[in-house]
Chains A and B, each alone.
Chain A
């Protein structure tokens, strides 16, 4: 599944942390990159039964990391 993400809302540095957290469930690659956005492809590991839930959980986790990153940067 390919998803387009805004670099402002989901900073690239937050993606690595999320990929590491989901390493047991899926592999993720960046398929396209522009100034303000990038696209990722999420490939589930074979035993994952529900791809949609996996993708949603991945995006929720990425959002949480991005929010944390945004709020920490605001304090600094």
Chain B
């Protein structure tokens, strides 16, 4: 396997159609990696395998179309990892305030109409009795 990549240093070209890159799950969690992989399955074939380093995963990317620029794809994949990681961080940071907003919204307006479910059959609010 010859590495012919000169443009993106952290990737390794294994053939004209395939390159690999190593993702450290201590930086980008497995969840982040999975979400990004899922987003790329329409454009390329992806295969994951554990790397020699315990916390890393090797991502093998093969383009679905012959004219696909693998370096561009690898660059976009790498950027997507950062994007998803930041999204996860922000979601964690803002979780309590989001829960508070939702709780407040439901506290002010109870959207469930309980007049039927909590009423007595004797009252017959839906007029079922003939």
Please report A residues at the B interface, Cβ cutoff 8 Å: 4-6, 8-10, 36, 56-57, 59-60, 63-64, 66-67, 70-71, 74
State whether B50 touches A63 (Cβ < 8 A). no
| Distance between Cα atoms of A74 and B35 in the complex (Å) | 13
Which residues of B line the A interface, CB within 8 A?
30-31, 34-35, 37-38, 41, 45-50, 57, 62
Picked from A8, A67, A74, the residue with its CB within 8 Å of the CB of B38 is A67
Residue numbers in B under 8 Å from A4 (CB-CB): 49
A-side binding surface: helix, strand, loop or mixed? helix
Closest-by-CB residue of A relative to B44 is A60
Extra A-B contacts (9), CB below 8 Å, given A56-B45, A56-B62, A59-B45: A6-B50, A9-B48, A60-B41, A60-B46, A63-B38, A64-B38, A70-B30, A71-B34, A71-B35
Can you list 30 pairs linking A and B with CB atoms under 8 Å apart? Answer: A4-B49, A6-B48, A6-B50, A8-B50, A9-B48, A9-B49, A9-B50, A36-B50, A56-B45, A56-B62, A59-B45, A59-B46, A59-B47, A60-B45, A60-B46, A63-B37, A63-B38, A63-B41, A63-B46, A63-B48, A64-B38, A64-B41, A67-B34, A67-B35, A67-B38, A70-B34, A71-B31, A71-B34, A71-B35, A74-B31
